[in-house]
Every structure is written in C-alpha cells, then in structure tokens.
Amino acid sequence: MPTQYDVTAIGNAIVDVIASADDAFITAEGLNRGSMQLIDAARATELYGRMASGREVSGGSAANTIAGLAALGRSCAFIGQVADDQLGEVFAHDIRASGIRFDTPARGAEPPTARCLILVTPDGQRTMNTFLGASQYLPAAAIDAELIAASAILYLEGYLWDPEEPRAAMRAAIDIAKRAGNKVAFTLSDAFVIDRHGADFRALIEEGAIDILFANDGEVQALMGTADVASAVTALSAKVATLVVTHGADGAEAHSRGEHARVHAEPITRVVDTTGAGDLFAAGFLAGQAEGRSLEHSLTMGAVCAAEVISHYGPRPEADLTALVRARLG
C-alpha cells in the first residue's frame, strides 16, 4: 500500500533555551559536559537564574529530525505533547510552519511545555538540561494509528524512553508500524539514557523491532558495554537491518545488509553550536534513503545537514538544505 507520509516521528516537544557558558560554569554546576540530563522545575528555575541571556528556539531531538526531513522535501508528521502555554504555541507554530502535520492537542497549563536549558561552551559543545514538563505525559491516546500506518517510516527518540506514558505510547506505535509493514527507525539519543534503559533498547533490537538504528560512539559503547567501538559496531550491525554510527568530527558510517559505507565530516568554518548535529544527520540520511540513494550518498546528505546546523545557534536548519545538498551532490 503506498504510504501518505515519508516519516512520522514521536518525540519530546521541547523549546530550547540556548545561552553561552564558559567551562568553569559547567564545572561549577556539576554538569556532564556534552550530555543531556533531566532536571525538575526547581532545578530549572535555579539554573535558568544563573544562565546568561538566551535565545528560545523550538527543539526536541526527533522534532529537529522531522524539521530537517521537511526542509529536504519529505512529507512528515510529528506526535508530541505540549502544554497550553506560550512555549507550547511557539513549538506548535514552528513545526507547522515547517510544513509538518502536528495534531497532538495541548494538555492544559500545568506542567508547562518542556524546555531544555542548553549551555554552549566556546568550543561549540552543548550541555543540555531538560525539564520535561508536559512532554512526559504524552498519552497512548495521542498515537494516531491511521497516521502511523500511513507513514513509510516511524521515527522514535531514545530520550522519550525516560518518561513512562510516552514509553508505552511508543511501544504501541511500534506495533502499529510493524503490522502495517512499515519501518521503524530509532535513535539511541544519549549514553546516559542507555545507562537507564539499555536493557529495553537491547530487547527491542533483539526482537527485530528496529529497522534503522542511529547511534554515536558513546552510545554504541554504552549499548554494547565495551570501549571498543569498532567491534561493537560490527556486532550491532548484525542485529539491525541498517545501522548508522556518527563519529562526530571524524565522520560517520553505515552498515546495511552486508554493505558498508563511510564518509568524512563536511568541512565547516566554525562550530558555533553542536545542538541538533545528530538530529540533522539522521534527517539527511533518512531523506537519502527515502530517495532510494546509496548508503554513501545518504551519509553525505546527513553530513551536509549536520554541518549546516552546527554553523549557527539552534537545532533546526536555517539555510536551504535542499540547495546545500544539491550543491554538494548534484
């Protein structure tokens, strides 16, 4: 059956609050540099009070990926929970303005829409502190079965495995996608998330629920319980149809049914803010796959999209991704 959407994603519906910070601030606040940690409302207020002046932009890992896919011309939908407040309006506006179908109703005013306090150090690295707010209450009822069945790919973020209700909602969505014969793509999101939910992720992989898996070096290590990335990648690639591993500045590789490809990172003048790099890499790769491109071509599309998003503040594309991909790949 032809599908109506290329990709539907389920993810945290977050507005990012991005501010500059020096390394001393990261240390003084006891943060895991380059990582994501969950914070409660009190900690969010306290940390925000000490942060520099910021900029607010719509974020959320899977939402960023979907925004990238839409910018690359794919038809997309997003499912995620906002509150009935100003940041929720911002999130909903931005995702719809990007041409993405977004129907999840706002949930009332409390708790408020999720925000991620992102501290960007002078090297461009981001350290994320997420107050999940409304996002953690995404109910199973928000999973539109018709929409999932009508989407060639269901895309899920590991971050959303933390809160209980969305985890159940995602499990239900996986079943719907699988019954419809569609593909499930999953990003492992963060090594610390794997520390909390690695057993679940490994079980999903073992049962064949994941067709396309995205991970970076640290996530592969955490998932496979080894510091040896190369052997972990080899072992993992035997368990999923398509495995994409990003190596930061060292490029990325993909394994799919015995095929293998590897690309360098795209050159970039200055890394301003790495927020969204992995999300946009996934967008480029999935768009390439949707176009029927080779693994190498798809990886390069991912690298082009990642390079765009790290060249400015904010986790979603600002330049014309389609034009950038055309300029690079013809």
| Residue 225 backbone zone (phi > 0: left; psi -120 to 50: alpha; other: beta) | left
Residue 310 binds to its own copies (criterion: CB under 8 A): no
Size of the site for its own copies (CB under 8 A): 26
**What's the rounded Cα separation, in Å, for the pair 113 and 85?**
7
Pairing of strands 259-263, 252-256: antiparallel
Joined together, the tokens standing for residue 37 give: 């940690």
- Cα separation, 34 vs 318, whole angstroms: 23
Region of 43-51, 150-158, 213-221, 237-245 interacting with its own copies (CB under 8 A):
43-51
User: Tokens 């798809």 belong to which residue?
Assistant: 298
Q: Which of 10, 57, 114, 290 binds its own copies (CB under 8 A)?
A: 57
Note whether 2 binds its own copies by CB under 8 A.
no
Q: Which is nearer to its own copies, 53 or 238 (CB)?
A: 53
Our CB check for its own copies shows the closer of 66 and 173 to be 66
Task: Report residue 202 as tokens.
Answer: 């490994």
Radius of gyration, CA atoms only, the chain: 18
Any contact of residue 56 with its own copies (CB under 8 A)? yes
Q: Is 30 in the site for its own copies (CB under 8 A)?
A: no
Q: Does the protein bind its own copies through residue 165 (CB under 8 A)?
A: no
Q: Which is nearer to its own copies, 58 or 135 (CB)?
A: 58
Rounded-to-integer distance, Cα 157 and Cα 170, Å: 9
Q: Please report how close the Cβ of residue 99 comes to its own copies at its closest, in angstroms.
A: 10
Distance of closest approach, residue 176 Cβ to its own copies, in angstroms: 29
The yes or no reply on residue 51 touching its own copies (CB under 8 A) is yes
Residue 273's φ and ψ, nearest 5 degrees, are -160, 115
- Nearer Cβ to its own copies (199/269): 269
- Of the pair 98, 127, the CB lying nearest its own copies is at 98
Residue 58 makes contact with its own copies by CB under 8 A: yes
> What's the chain's length in residues?
330
Nearest-angstrom CA–CA distance, 141 and 145: 9
> How far is it, in rounded angstroms, from Cα 132 to Cα 116?
8
Give the position of tokens 């977050």: 14
Instruction: Find the part of the chain contacting its own copies (CB under 8 A) among 6-14, 56-64, 218-226, 275-283.
Output: 56-64
Instruction: Give the distance from CA 285 to its chain's centroid.
Output: 13
For residues 79 and 95, which CB has a smaller minimum distance to its own copies in the complex?
95
Q: What token pair was written down for 216?
A: 């970076």
53 contacts its own copies (rule: CB under 8 A): yes
Residue 46 near its own copies by CB under 8 A: no
Q: Pick between residue 10 and residue 87 the one whose CB is nearest to its own copies.
A: 87
Q: Per-residue contact track with its own copies, 66 to 105, x per CB under 8 A?
A: -x-----------------xxx--x--xxx-xx-------
According to DSSP, the residues that pair with 10 across neighbouring strands are: 79, 156
Helix (H, G, I), strand (E, B) or coil at 182: coil
Helix (H) or strand (E) holding 213: strand 212-216
Among the residue ranges 135-143, 189-197, 200-208, 311-319, the one whose residues contact its own copies (CB under 8 A)? 311-319
Closest CA to 275 of 29, 86, 63: 63
Binding site for its own copies (CB under 8 A): 19-20, 48-49, 51-58, 67, 85-87, 90, 93-95, 97-98, 112, 314, 316, 318
